[in-house]
């Protein structure tokens, strides 16, 4: 197994490094952030990703950390670049980190031995960037030409937070966007070895197509979420109709598929919202006006207001009311607050005059940094609920599944529940004022079709 380097010790870089080491590679990870490199050197992971601590611990002897990109490049013949490409104010992406990393890699290559170095871009960059921006920087800094003295490829990542290790070890597909043929050949061989005879489909194309694949995949996922949320809005106005049942039936159509059809407070995170804005900005640059991309974001913004409207529907004015907000991270199994719907929901609640108490199993520390004194922080689920006028579930953590009508009744000022993630069966909350995204009014509705299914009975039982 060869030595590889990873530039950028963020979430993608660290998951990749840990998995590469697990499969027997010696890995050098480089990052400019000295505090982060120090922490990692001490065996601590600066963010929460299930299984990552253990994986890094197991492969500790095969991973080293450095603040010097040059060192990392000198020690390897293959470099993965996974520095972040954050959003600028206008929605386009900020390429400054990737530009400077690639420049450093190029300079390091000037003094390196004869072996042709392969550089693989893993950062998400808009279509055209690897060929038109990264390649020229690399060639200028190294004095080498892609395809002659060095190789370059773009390989989009499809890691989903909370499930990233599984996604890296068992991906649905590997997309190789090659700038030179040898880059594609080498990367294909590399992944065939990595997956030891069990490789997923490997698709080879040019680097710009690979960049489009990344954005198209994320835009499609976001579109599915906004689509089901749009349908949810319609369901909420129809007696006895529940978007969960509708989505289940729609998703069983194999042309559609059931995943990413969970209605709720909307999508967040560091990828989906940012990538849609970036693709839209790139489309505009290319003089193509997208109708769909802005619509996906508009639906998503509305969801965060919808959940507050549901609380109002149950409580009336929120002025002076105590709101227990459960879940802060943008999804469960992560402490990541980037783009988290909770932040905007809290903003809407505060503007409505509510006092907000929050609880999250993992994201409390990150939330404090972001929200400061705007909310109160509870140490547990029960503490959060105590004396609250309404409970709003924003992230579907497993811990919240245990929420019962008895707990709500005993802890809250009045038992009022807004299910922003469709975690609960309304039938389990008799005696609790309950509203949920995508759930139409339940009284007065009878089911005309004899049906033994529990979820359909739920409408008849209250009729």
- What is the distance between the alpha carbons of residues 146 and 139, in angstroms, rounded to a whole number? 7
Q: Binding residue for ligand UGA (CB under 6 A) from 10, 13, 91, 268?
A: 268
- What is the distance between the alpha carbons of residues 350 and 432, in angstroms, rounded to a whole number? 24
269 binds ligand UGA (CB under 6 A): yes
**271 carries an active-site annotation:** yes
State the SS3 of 153-193: EECCCCCCCCCHHHHHHCCCCEEEEECCHHHHHHHHHHHHH
175 binds ligand UGA (CB under 6 A): no
Q: Binding residue for ligand UGA (CB under 6 A) from 175, 272, 384, 417?
A: 272
Helix (H, G, I), strand (E, B) or coil at 251: helix
Joined together, the tokens standing for residue 215 give 């954005």
Q: Binding residue for ligand UGA (CB under 6 A) from 121, 331, 356, 393?
A: 331
Q: Binding residue for ligand UGA (CB under 6 A) from 159, 179, 183, 324?
A: 159
Phi, psi of 89, deg, nearest 5: -60, -35
Going by C-beta distance under 8 Å and a sequence separation of 6 or more, which residues neighbour residue 222?
A: 267, 272, 273, 275, 276, 296, 300
221 binds ligand UGA (CB under 6 A): yes
Q: Binding residue for ligand UGA (CB under 6 A) from 158, 192, 407, 445?
A: 158
Q: What is the closest distance, in whole angstroms, from the C-beta atom of residue 158 to ligand UGA in the complex?
A: 4
Chain position carrying tokens 């808009």: 126
- 67 or 169, CB closer to ligand UGA? 169
State the SS3 of 91-147: CCECCHHHHHHHHHHHHHHHCCCCCCEEEEECCCCCCCHHHHHHHHHHHHHHCCCEC
261 binds ligand UGA (CB under 6 A): yes
264 binds ligand UGA (CB under 6 A): yes
Q: Binding residue for ligand UGA (CB under 6 A) from 36, 262, 304, 306?
A: 262
Stretch that binds ligand UGA, among 50-58, 232-240, 257-265, 441-449 (CB under 6 A): 257-265
330 binds ligand UGA (CB under 6 A): yes
Burial of 193 (0-12, 13-18, 19+ CB in 10 A): middle
377 binds ligand UGA (CB under 6 A): no
Alpha helices in 316-449 (DSSP H): 341-351, 364-371, 381-385, 405-411
260 binds ligand UGA (CB under 6 A): yes
Q: What is the closest distance, in whole angstroms, from the C-beta atom of residue 361 to ligand UGA in the complex?
A: 15
Joined together, the tokens standing for residue 334 give 């992560």
- 146 or 279, CB closer to ligand UGA? 279
267 binds ligand UGA (CB under 6 A): yes
- What is the distance between the alpha carbons of residues 276 and 279, in angstroms, rounded to a whole number? 5
Catalytic residue among 271, 384, 391, 447: 271
426 binds ligand UGA (CB under 6 A): no
160 binds ligand UGA (CB under 6 A): yes
Q: What is the DSSP letter of 28?
A: E
Q: What is the closest distance, in whole angstroms, from the C-beta atom of residue 331 to ligand UGA in the complex?
A: 4
- 157 or 360, CB closer to ligand UGA? 157
Residues found near ligand UGA in the complex (CB under 6 A): 124, 157-161, 218, 221, 225, 260-262, 264, 267-269, 271-272, 330-331
Give the active site residues: 271
């Amino acid at each position: 197994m060869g030595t590889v380097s990873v530039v950028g010790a963020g979430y993608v870089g660290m998951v990749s490094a840990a998995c590469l080491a697990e499969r027997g590679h010696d890995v050098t990870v480089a990052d400019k952030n000295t505090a982060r490199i120090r922490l990692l050197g001490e065996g601590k992971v600066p963010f929460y990703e299930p299984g990552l601590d253990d994986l890094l611990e197991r492969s500790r002897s095969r991973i080293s950390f450095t603040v010097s990109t040059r060192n990392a490049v000198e020690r390897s013949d293959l470099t993965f670049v996974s520095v972040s490409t954050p959003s600028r104010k206008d929605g386009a992406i900020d390429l400054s980190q990737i530009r400077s990393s690639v420049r450093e890699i190029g300079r390091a290559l000037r003094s390196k031995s004869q072996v042709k170095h392969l550089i693989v871009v893993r950062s998400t960059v808009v279509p055209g960037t690897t060929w038109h921006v990264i390649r020229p920087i690399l060639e200028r800094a190294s004095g080498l030409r892609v395809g002659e003295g060095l190789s370059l490829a773009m390989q989009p990542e499809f890691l989903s937070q909370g499930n990233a290790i599984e996604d890296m070890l068992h991906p649905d597909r590997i997309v190789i966007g090659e700038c030179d043929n040898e880059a594609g050949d080498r990367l294909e061989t590399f992944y065939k070895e990595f997956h030891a005879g069990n490789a997923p489909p490997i698709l080879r194309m040019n680097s710009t197509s690979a960049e489009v694949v990344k954005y198209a995949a994320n835009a499609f996922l976001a579109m599915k979420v906004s689509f089901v949320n749009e349908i949810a809005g319609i369901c909420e106005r129809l007696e006895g109709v529940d978007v969960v049942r509708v989505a289940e039936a729609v998703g069983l159509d194999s042309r559609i598929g059931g995943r990413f059809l969970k209605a709720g407070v909307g999508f967040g995170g560091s990828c989906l919202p940012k990538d849609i804005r970036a693709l839209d900005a790139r489309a505009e640059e290319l003089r193509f006006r997208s109708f769909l991309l802005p619509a996906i974001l508009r639906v998503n913004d509305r969801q965060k207001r919808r959940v507050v409207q549901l609380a109002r529907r149950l409580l009336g004015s929120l002025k002076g009311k105590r709101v227990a907000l459960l879940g802060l991270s943008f999804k469960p199994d992560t402490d990541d607050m980037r783009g988290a719907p909770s932040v905007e929901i809290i903003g809407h609640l505060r503007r409505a005059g509510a006092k907000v108490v929050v609880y999250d199993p993992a994201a409390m520390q990150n939330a404090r940094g972001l929200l400061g004194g705007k909310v109160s922080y509870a140490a547990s689920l029960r503490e959060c609920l105590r004396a609250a006028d309404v409970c709003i579930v924003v992230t579907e953590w497993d811990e919240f599944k245990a929420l019962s009508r008895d707990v709500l009744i005993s802890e809250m000022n009045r038992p009022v529940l807004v299910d922003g993630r469709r975690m609960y069966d309304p039938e389990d909350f008799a005696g609790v004022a309950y509203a949920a995204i995508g759930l139409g009014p339940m009284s007065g509705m009878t089911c005309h079709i004899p049906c033994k299914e529990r979820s359909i009975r739920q409408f008849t039982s209250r009729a």
